[in-house]
Chain A
Amino acid sequence: IAGITQAPTSQILAAGRRMTLRCTQDMRHNAMYWYRQDLGLGLRLIHYSNTAGTTGKGEVPDGYSVSRANTDDFPLTLASAVPSQTSVYFCASSDGVGTGYTEAFFGQGTRLTVV
């Protein structure tokens, strides 16, 4: 089934540990995004990539890094996790950059708890 797959679906992580959240899409979309969703704050953009080989910082990039080696994969890395990074993380993709109507498709989310 075409779409976006995230792994893991949930994780409990000790503070200070390194963690990579995986995201893969098979729709050949140019643009990919990482969001975090916290209660009462809505979706906040962490990092994005408009095309393979390029990345950009979103609203809340500190403590996170991304890479986009190819079209399909967009992993998010927490170098040294802190409790404030406890959140639900969504990966998304969309077709086309610099246009108005480009619907974003979301993965099922990763629920991360940093203790």
Chain B
Amino acid sequence: GQNIDQPTEMTATEGAIVQINCTYQTSGFNGLFWYQQHAGEAPTFLSYNVLDGLEEKGRFSSFLSRSKGYSYLLLKELQMKDSASYLCAVKDSNYQLIWGAGTKLIIKP
């Protein structure tokens, strides 16, 4: 079966750095997405990786290793507004998105 694993919850301090990991086992691979979802709101797109390596976008970076079935989302200079759930999703061989359950990130002052 297809599976996406992420930690359920993480806690970090304002101003610090946090890394959210995602491992996947899917039938085929056509890219990996990270989305942010604030409580009670819709998911919004953060990043996309299809080749191995690091993609940087401001305070957020996303890394992919296809051989290891592994990705991480790195958030720097954490702000209180970064408190949200972070969803990892993989596009499989049918170009359908397979979603992880999400990681709830709690930022403390």
The stretch from B11-19, B58-66, B98-106 touching chain A is: B98-106
Quick check: B100 and A42 within 8 Å, CB to CB?
A: yes
Interface bracket on A? 20 to 34
* Residues in B neighbouring A107, C-beta threshold 8 A: 42
Quick check: B31 and A45 within 8 Å, CB to CB?
A: no
Secondary structure at chain B's binding surface: helix, strand, loop or mixed? loop
Quick check: A106 and B50 within 8 Å, CB to CB?
A: no
**Out of A42, A90, A103, A106, which one reaches B48, CB within 8 Å?**
A103
Quick check: B48 and A101 within 8 Å, CB to CB?
A: yes
Interface residues of B in 8-64 (CB under 8 A from A): 8, 30-31, 33, 41-45, 48, 50
* Residues in B neighbouring A90, C-beta threshold 8 A: 42-43
> B68-109 CB contact bits vs A (8 Å, 1 = yes)?
000000000000000000010101000111011110000000
Taking A45-B96, A106-B44, A109-B42 as contacts, is the C-beta distance between A101 and B31 under 8 angstroms? yes
Indicate if A84 sits at the interface (CB-CB under 8 A). no
Indicate if A15 sits at the interface (CB-CB under 8 A). no
Q: How far is the CB of B86 from chain A (nearest CB, A)?
A: 12
CA–CA, A104 to B42, complex, Å? 11
Quick check: A42 and B102 within 8 Å, CB to CB?
A: yes
* Residues in A neighbouring B99, C-beta threshold 8 A: 35, 42-44
Taking A41-B101, A42-B102, A43-B87 as contacts, is the C-beta distance between A98 and B95 under 8 angstroms? yes
A-B contact pairs, 21 of them (CB 8 A): A40-B101, A42-B100, A42-B101, A43-B43, A43-B89, A43-B97, A44-B99, A45-B96, A45-B97, A48-B96, A97-B95, A100-B31, A100-B48, A100-B95, A103-B45, A103-B48, A104-B97, A105-B45, A106-B44, A107-B42, A108-B41
List the interface of chain B (C-beta within 8 A of A). 4, 8, 30-31, 33, 41-45, 48, 50, 87, 89, 91, 95-97, 99-102
